[in-house]
Amino acid sequence: MDPQERRKNLIERNEELERLGMGCSGCSGTCCTYEANSMMVTPIEAVELVDYLKTNGLFNDELKNRLQETVAKYRLDQGLGNGKRSYLRRTYTCPFFNHKELGCPLPREVKPFGCIAFNSHNVELKAGEHCYSEKEILEKREMLAPDEAALNEELKQQHALYWDKVPMPVALLDFFNVKK
Ligand code: SF4
Ligand code: SF4
């Protein structure tokens, strides 16, 4: 399954909301900042994002520095335990956020699942007041990809990852340190 196919139902829901006038244009991107963002990723999401960044020449020292600054500033590497899903979530401003309207430079096809499922539900108000994560579409996506648990385990072995799900900056930094 390619990254786009894996996110198909989430992207379709994004597009539906945009057709209904409930897209994110006009918003400063509150959901990507420490005010609301606590995005965590699985090994599959991390690998797909790293592949995209490498293909586009973005997996470089500048990104590594931004990731390290984010982890340090928001203490994202503390209290992770064994990387299971019981981790107490911490909020942080995403290292990819551009700090302007529609501030995410990543294509939907490689964004973390949670980012694509966090949607606006109001035509006029655009500052996060009517935005929330659509759990139903996240659950449906999981149902459509029953092999993902096995693939996550495979990727953990392959890349020597100890975690099931960690904050995105912590996950990406592991790929700078792992020898391939
Ligand atoms: S990946 Fe993009 S949409 Fe997700 S939190 Fe970061 S900037 Fe926002
Ligand atoms: S989901 Fe909400 S807070 Fe996030 S960019 Fe869209 S309108 Fe803004």
| pLDDT tens across the length of the chain (180 residues) | 899 999 999 999 999 999 998 888 778 888 999 998 999 999 999 999 999 999 999 999 999 999 999 999 999 988 776 656 556 789 999 999 986 556 789 999 999 999 999 998 877 766 666 788 999 999 999 999 999 999 999 999 999 999 999 999 999 999 996 444
What SS3 state is found at 108? helix
Cβ of 128 less than 6 Å from ligand 2 = yes
CA of 154 to the centre of ligand 1 (A): 26
Residue with tokens 């500052």: 127
Q: Which ligand is nearest to the CA of 39?
A: 1
Cβ of 14 less than 6 Å from ligand 2 = no
Q: Which ligand is nearest to the CA of 101?
A: 2
CA distance 120 to 127: 9
CA of 160 to the centre of ligand 2 (A): 35
Q: How far is CA 2 from CA 29, 41, 144, in A?
A: 27, 17, 13
**What is the pLDDT, as a whole number, of residue 89?**
82
Q: Write phi, then psi, for 41 (nearest 5 degrees).
A: -130, 155
Q: Which two tokens stand for residue 160?
A: 């020597």
CB contact at 8 A, 15 and 86: no
Of 68, 36, 88, nearest in space to 172 by CA: 68
**What is the pLDDT, as a whole number, of residue 26?**
78
For 9, residues 6+ apart whose C-beta sits below 8 A from its C-beta are: 137, 140, 141, 144
